[in-house]
Amino acid sequence: MARTTNPYRPGFNAAPPAFVGRERLLGAVREALAVAALDGRTPRPIIITGTRGVGKTVALGEAASLAAAEHAWPTVHVEVRPGRDFTPLLAERLNAARHLLEHTTSDDRRHPVITGGKLGASALGVGGEVEVQLERHGPGPVDPLEAALGAAMRVAMEEGAGLVITLDEVQYAERAELAGFTAILQERMADNWPLVVIVAGLPSIREPRRVVTYLERGEWHELGLLSQDEAEQALTEPAADAGRPMEPEAARELATASGGYPYAVQLYGHHAWRASSGAGRIALDHALAAGEAARRELEEGLYVARWNDASEREREYLAAVARLIVGSGEATGGAVAAELGKASTEVSYLRDRLLKKGTLYSAGSHLSFITPGMAEWVARL
């Protein structure tokens, strides 16, 4: 029997086949591109926040695809890394973008994302790869980033194009370096550059001690869990498109088990596809088998990783949350404090830490584990 490709994509930075539940964000990206391309103004930056696994990096990729497909604009992408300056790399890739704009036509730029010194064939519409010769500045500009950005924007405007900059994992950026970058953007707002800036990071980037003024006034979007209907749509559409439709009962079972966590939606769908190999449809029994396999994978992967990432006191807090959820179906900050025999003020810092890490999330006063099934796993430890 010929192998049928599994349409579900659990994993880091793997774009799901159905990008659902993010219509408001994509609408904001389209509007920002239109403001820059058609209105002749530089729009406010777009800031995407959310815990790990909700699709921030994928959203940046979708934004880059929109810019290329709808406006033939290239995207300069940088992932910020702990303990490393990001602006030298950004300047280097801006120089690469300038070369791209100088040596290609709009038809060639239908899917370029600049992430290094080489541009793939899809970026240029030709076979193989083209090495981009990057300028190395000697003594001269005091600020290489400002020089690179200004040069790239001048060429973009001469070519009737624009540019998108995406920064990922911004929580790792040093505040002073991020402030320096945004100061350049703020200073050049009056120049009406055709430039769209989109950044993404964990919710901690909203903390007063970390956020910089320019971003504070941007357009913020928090990505969270998918609704039941959205999760079912994310499961049924890829299956139908791949020629093995998913029955409603199976979709309902998998969506509920996933808790709407985008990574888990893809993981459960992946295992349902495997369980239904050779069948014409994905039925409830395949979904139930997939649930067992997906839970084992979550236990051996995300549960262990997030437990090991917690301090001893954080683990005590997580254990109390788990006991309450398993015992009564819900946990609040006050109930967790009482379970630990502490005043709420004594343990609120633990709650805040775990929310910022993305191990827990809050819905009003109620606390839950972001990863489905983790409460039961912690309760068994």
Class of domain 228-306 as given by CATH: mainly alpha
Q: What are the CA-CA distances from residue 157 to residues 36, 65, 150, 187, 340 (Å)?
A: 11, 20, 11, 18, 61
The pTM of this model reads 0.82
Res 2 pLDDT > 60: no
Rama region for 27: left / alpha / beta (φ>0; ψ in -120 to 50; rest): alpha
- At 212 the pLDDT is 87
Quote the distance between the C-alpha of residue 10 and its chain's center: 13
**Tokens read off for 66:** 């929109």
Residue 92 pLDDT greater than 70, yes or no: yes
Query: Which of 44 and 117 is assigned the larger pLDDT?
Result: 44
**376 contacts 332 by C-beta, under 8 angstroms:** no
Q: What is the DSSP letter of 299?
A: I
CATH architecture of 23-222: 3-Layer(aba) Sandwich (3.40)
Where do the CATH 1.10.10.10 domains begin and end in the chain? 309-380
Location of structure tokens 């009482």: 338
Q: Report yes or no: 26 and 62 within 8 Å, Cβ to Cβ.
A: yes
List pLDDT tens digits, range 204-230.
888 777 788 888 889 999 998 999 999
Architecture of domain 309-380: Orthogonal Bundle (1.10)
Share of the chain above pLDDT 70, in %: 89
Mean pLDDT confidence for 33-41: 94
| 129/72 Cα distance (integer angstroms) | 19
CB within 8 Å of 103: residues ≥ 6 apart: none
Listed in order, the ranges of the chain carrying CATH 1.10.8 are 228-306
The number of C-alpha atoms within 13 Å of 333 and in the hemisphere containing its C-beta is 19
Residue whose token pair is 């995207």: 75
Q: Residue 339 is encoded by which pair of tokens?
A: 């379970």
Instruction: Give me the chain's average pLDDT, please.
Output: 88
What is the side-by-side order of every strand in the sheet holding 113-114? 113-114, 75-79, 163-168, 195-201, 46-49, 219-222
Q: Read off the pLDDT of residues 273-296 as tens digits, 9 standing for 90 and up.
A: 999 999 999 999 999 999 999 999
Give long-range contacts, CB 8 A cutoff, 24+ apart: 97-101.
Answer: 97/152, 97/156, 97/163, 98/148, 98/151, 98/152, 98/155, 99/132, 99/133, 99/134, 100/74, 100/132, 101/74, 101/152, 101/155, 101/156, 101/159, 101/161, 101/163
> 331 in helix, strand or coil?
coil
Predicted confidence (pLDDT) per residue in 326-340, tens digit: 999 999 999 999 999
The 10s digit of each residue's pLDDT in 149-190 is: 999 999 999 999 999 999 999 999 999 999 999 999 999 988
Every domain of the chain with CATH number 3.40.50.300 lies at 23-222
